[in-house]
Chains A and B, each alone.
Chain A
Amino acid sequence: MNSPVEDRLREALGEAGAMLDVGALRPLAAPDRRRFRVDMRLAAAAAAVVVAGAATVVGVTGVTGSGSQDGMTRAASQPTTPDQVDVSVFLCTGREPDKKACQGHAVTEEQKTTLAESLRRIPEVTSVRFEDRRAAYERFRKAFADYPGILGKVTSDELPESYHITVNRDRQRPVSEAAQEMPGVALVSNPAMAGVEGYSAASLRDLADLTAFLCNTSSVQPACDRYAASKTSKRGRAITATDLTKLQEQLRAMPEVRKVHFEDQGEAYAKFKKSYSANKAMLSAVKVEDMPMSFRIFLRPGADAAKVGAKVRSRPGVAQVIEMRCVVLPAILLGDHGLERKDVCR
């Protein structure tokens, strides 16, 4: 039995609570930990998370060693249904001296025939399409049309031939692993593992030029050691609110900087959760407070990212600065075009 007063009160309170402008809500800042104790497991977690933080945006590969075939980005070359994914099977060109699978040899015609037949025989594979070197080079030229520096570095005979297969999402992993074992296969890449589908050279325009990760309580970077040691008033490694504000102001004041976006732990965690939605172990292990805060820095055209990066790196409270193009471009080259190049950044 509700009295009229109760009803009015309930409604008024509901309305008062609803007046909160959720969009303007400032994120919670994790306070400095007073009693800091070095915990090696914590350090490992933090290192992994910084890597994960970068991977969330760009699908870093190679950073995690064995994951180098998994966390690939690739442009959607053809539309697929939600429960199907594209997998690219890149063949040996003979120019991969360090790839055990190729043993320095190019794929033979016989191997190609066997491979195509085997792939078509897998029931979960719904389509198999061969791409020759010329088509591969055309696709590469189109994807990197905005990057003359990279176009000039890659010659047409470097790009491998490949089979592009469509496979049911839930069977993609075993199929990829099986394909990787076949003779003449240099690399199998797919977009689903790291959850970074949809990145392509074209969408690089929306990507920050630099990402500056900030020290938090569990950062392990040497820069954060120095930062912690330089703090006089407070102990702890996390960047202080004062330094955070100062850094943001400094970034905004830099002539090369066009735009700065602050990514808080909540936002970083949301991205992380999305990227690792399939990885329950990772999800349960990482909490919001483990995520690094970061500044996403967009530069004006013509600005020297390396130079700005070096400047930002030296600021107090900055754990590490990543030049996004140096991470994303090699990832796209490898994942979409089967080409391993480390010199694309300069």
Chain B
Amino acid sequence: MAASPIEARVDVPIVSVRPAAPGAWTTLGRFIRRKPLGAAGGVIMVVMVVTAVLAPWLQTHDPIATNAAYTLGKPNADHWLGTDHLGRDIYSRIVHGAWVSLVVGLGSTLLGSVLGGIIGLLSGYIGGKTDLIAQRVLDILQGLPLLVLALVMSASLGPSIRNVIVAISIPIIPRAARVIRASVLSIREMQYIEAARALGVRHLRVAFRHILPNTVGPFIVLCTAQLGSAILVEATLSFLGMGVPEPYPSWGRMLSVSAAEYAQKAPHLVMFPGIAISLAVFGSNLLGDALRDTLDPRLRGSR
């Protein structure tokens, strides 16, 4: 190793002294400079949101219209990414799939994180027996692999977008509750909370007005981290035939059994939807990592 080992390893934590409340643009600029990978993830997410919202205008064909004359078509000028076994345009389906992915991903992440966050807030603030019982119940929910729980939930609720969102949000609840509870526990001991109580502020008001706003950092980190896995679980459920039902084009379902059958004849059937899923999840993971490093330095590098 060329550099002196000691020098290379002295890692002084940088305490940045920030001026009070820098503008949004300044913060954004600094984020892009310090976390280029995170910024790249942010760009991917923005592209995904724009694609999802503008899907009807970005499509070149009707995503659900079949065309028996042109099945398993190779990518060409008309069908940019080719067609599937029913002659549906893959590009248009991927563009619309972004909307499904985003709605399910964001919906389940927000639902799970908000429910989990409230449980974590109350359980951490009240403490004692309530906390103990809440923790044990959350243990139960967390004991099952995320995908297995979502699979059983989804099978049991039946296929619909709403049910898939609920199914994916349930396994997120205990994970969210843990994170929020941990930060509530440290905030609870701070002096301004004691001061608020001494002034006679009611418990609920303390919890929601004085503690909750300070958990926003971990909450955002949590949501971005969960978004990637929610998108992945949606794709997996749809792949297994227990996710978003027809006629919604879902990236996971595009890879489903039919794709596996035709994979050798038409590899584009397998490649493009998979790349779409991977990019979306990759983007939210990159963004999540960078946000965590910025907002929550204690968890740096872990998950």
Do A and B interact?
Answer: no
